[in-house]
Amino acid sequence: MAVIRFFFRLFSVLALAVAVIMAVIDATRSVAANDIVLTPLGSSWYAVSPDTLNLAQAMVQRYLLPAIWDPVVVTILTLPGFAVFLVLSLLFYLIGRRPSRRLGRLGHVGG
């Protein structure tokens, strides 16, 4: 169980690193444009690897529910990339954290 928690914490750190990188890129673009620039996740993904984006769409539509792609995945792809990875980082962290330790029968210290 500790190994699984370790991997979720590792994924959390990696997702946080990607979120920070994407936020810095958006901040740099915002300063250059003298306006707030938030790059959607889909645009960033398409710029890095359009083939994997098309593959992901084909896989979701073919092997999962085809109706999931348009309302759900497309909505996620239109969100700012740093926000998506920040939420992923938080979810991975919450899954990978150690369970809280109970302090006695009624939750207080003592007998």
Q: How many CB atoms neighbour CB 34 within 10 A?
A: 7
Q: Could you read off the pLDDT of 1-35 as tens digits, one per residue?
A: 789 999 999 999 999 999 999 999 999 999 999 99
The band of 99, judged by pLDDT with boundaries at 50, 70 and 90, is confident
Residue whose entry in the numeric block shows the structure tokens 């009624």: 106
- The structure's pTM equals 0.82
